[in-house]
Amino acid sequence: MDDEYFHFSFNDLDLSISKSVYDLWLKFRQMNHNDKEACGILIGTKDFASNHYCIESVTVPMSKDIRTKYSFTMKDPRHQQIVDKAYLDSNGTSIYLGTWHSHPQAIPIPSHIDYEDWQRCLKRNPDRNLFFIIIGLEQIKIAIHMNDKFIDRSLLIEN
């Protein structure tokens, strides 16, 4: 890891996550009993030559999102507006790369609902690889769909 990014490999694909995104995610951990799940969209770039992806920014929970301790529904249209603006401002290099949300678990385990949601995201975006990230209390889980299954990597949260 260099000072500004965390790096992961998934077979022939590489992913970097900016430290600023990581730091933002830590603010949304469900550390207290009443904390609600947080959610957002991953925005970043893809280097086609090297098959390298970089998550450079994310959206965060917004007023029209529905959030409970164990669920979320991203309803606020500003998530899509932020992705669209990033795409236009970057001349098409910043794109939607998936979603993130939190779990009130030390080591987050994707639920059946998570897998169903991820499958819907994949069907809506057949032209790209997507990442699905769950922020736990002690670990961040990073999943991608490859070879007809989800594979994941974990990042231990530094306290």
Catalytic one of 4, 37, 116, 138: 37
Q: Is 11 exposed, middle or buried (0-12, 13-18, 19+ CB in 10 A)?
A: exposed
Q: Is the pLDDT of residue 113 over 90?
A: yes
Q: Is the pTM of this model over 0.75?
A: yes
| pLDDT recorded at residue 68 | 96
| Residue extents of the structural domains in the chain | 5-156
Cβ atoms of residues 126 and 94 within 8 Å:
no
Rounded to an integer, the average pLDDT of 125-132 is 94
Rounded to an integer, the average pLDDT of 78-83 is 98
Rounded to an integer, the average pLDDT of 75-94 is 97
37 carries an active-site annotation: yes
Q: Which amino acid is at 8?
A: F
pLDDT band for position 2 (50/70/90)? low
Cβ atoms of residues 136 and 130 within 8 Å:
no
Report the topology of domain 5-156.
Cytidine Deaminase; domain 2 (3.40.140)
Q: Is the pLDDT of residue 69 over 90?
A: yes
| pLDDT recorded at residue 159 | 67
Rounded to an integer, the average pLDDT of 7-35 is 96
What letters, b where the CB count within 10 A reaches 16 and e where it falls short, cover 54-72? bbbbbbbbbeebebeeeeb
Q: Is the pLDDT of residue 7 over 60?
A: yes
